[in-house]
Amino acid sequence: MILHCFLNRSTFIMKDQSILEDTSKTDTYHVKITRKTFLPIALVRQFLFLLFSGWRYRLIVIQFAGYHSLLPCLFAKLTGRKSLIIAGGTDCVSFPGIRYGNFYRPLLKDFTRWSYLLCDAIAPKHLTLWEYDYHYDKHEPSKQGILHFTGMTRKQVVPIENGYDTQKWSLTQPDRIKNSFITVTGALEYPFQSQLKGIDMILQLAAKHPECTFTIVGVPRTDFFGSISENVRLLPPVKNESLVELFNTQEYYMQLSMAEGFPNALCEAMLCGCTPIVSSVFSMPEIVGDNGYILTHRDTLELDRLMENVLRNGPKNPSAVRSQISERYSIQVRAEKLRNLVLSLGC
């Protein structure tokens, strides 16, 4: 039996839940930490659950490392069970300049580090989350990744990239709005989020290019950023069905993040034919390949030159952009890799 632990029921976590259920009988444990003050209560509840019910499981799978992962990994180690951490991004980095990443925060970094040291296997969503030389923003540390922050050398590490429903995310119409750019964000209530996701650079770019339109999805209210250019459209979070339609009206998808694990919205937009424009961080250059544009450094002058190149050469072939994802990152590929890893751990 498998115990699947997570902090929220996001779409990609529920995809993994289905994969685990197809592999072995699987129960879930949802660690609910709505406020930091509730953390001790949540951990006590988790401890009691493991103490009285954890014996039933041969493998504990934990989504992301953090406060919620230490007790399951410790329990598994002490009782001869196996534990697997699926590492996603924020649990692999430290960016002091924007106060982001598990390894930036004093107590959280200890919980995260010990979780990785105790677990039996790690499945990062891309190899760069294990070890990475970072050069995009000169103000941030150049060494990133689990290996750098933990110092471990002997560990079963199996990168498993995200997988996508290539039927759901599809090309639906050939005609798109000329010079249209879109990005999807969220969690803007966190102070670092706008800079982390590169929204600040997109807004600056929009002010310089009135001939283009920029759509930002996931903004809680229309006055969130204060005064913005007239060519910027702010939308609240939208359902996936509407997002497919929206992507199919846009020529470009822009993701100028300072850090990313394996961005879902980027891949979903590419499946819908949007030409990607991304920052050169972690998995994104590999995701884009030759079917998009890449910003090498977080620099406004460099972004201006890249934008000139984009407008001069235009979007890539939508079918080629789609194939870049559909041929490499289908949900079937992730399912096979995750299932094989789980079976290798004795489930």
pLDDT 10s digits, 92-112: 999 999 999 999 999 999 999
Tell me if 180 sits within 8 A of 125, measured CB to CB.
Answer: no
Each residue of 150-163: pLDDT tens digit? Answer: 998 778 999 999 99
pLDDT category at 46 given cuts 50, 70, 90 is: very high
- What CATH topology corresponds to 177-326? Rossmann fold (3.40.50)
C-alpha distances in Å from residue 121, one per residue of 156, 187, 260, 331: 5, 29, 21, 21
- Residues linked to residue 178 through DSSP beta bridges, in sequence order: none
Boundaries of every domain in the chain: 2-163+330-344, 177-326
Instruction: Go through the chain and tell me how many residues it has.
Output: 347
pLDDT category at 30 given cuts 50, 70, 90 is: very high
Which DSSP string corresponds to 171-213?
A: ---S--EEEEEEEE---TTSTTHHHHTTHHHHHHHHHH-TTSE
pTM, to two decimals: 0.95
- What CATH topology corresponds to 2-163+330-344? Rossmann fold (3.40.50)
Candidates 287, 319, 322; CA nearest to 169 is 322
Can you tell me the distance from the alpha carbon of 55 to that of 52, in angstroms, rounded to the nearest whole number? 7
Each residue of 230-269: pLDDT tens digit? Answer: 999 999 999 988 999 999 999 999 999 999 999 999 999 9
**pLDDT at 281 (0 to 100):** 98
**pLDDT at 153 (0 to 100):** 75
Query: At 69, phi and psi to the nearest 5?
Result: -100, -20
pLDDT category at 347 given cuts 50, 70, 90 is: confident
Structure tokens at 199: 């929204």
Token look-up 């998009």 returns: 292
Q: Is 177-326 in the same CATH topology as 2-163+330-344?
A: yes
Residue 26, classed as helix, strand or coil, is: strand
Tell me if 338 sits within 8 A of 160, measured CB to CB.
Answer: yes
Average pLDDT over residues 38-59: 96
Structure tokens at 328: 């490499």
Can you tell me the distance from the alpha carbon of 109 to that of 55, in angstroms, rounded to the nearest whole number? 28
Helix-strand-coil split of the chain, %, nearest 5 = 40, 20, 40
Taking 90 as the threshold, does the pLDDT of residue 346 lie above it? no
Torsion-angle region of 187 (φ positive above 0: left; ψ -120 to 50: alpha; else: beta): left
| DSSP-assigned letter for residue 317 | P
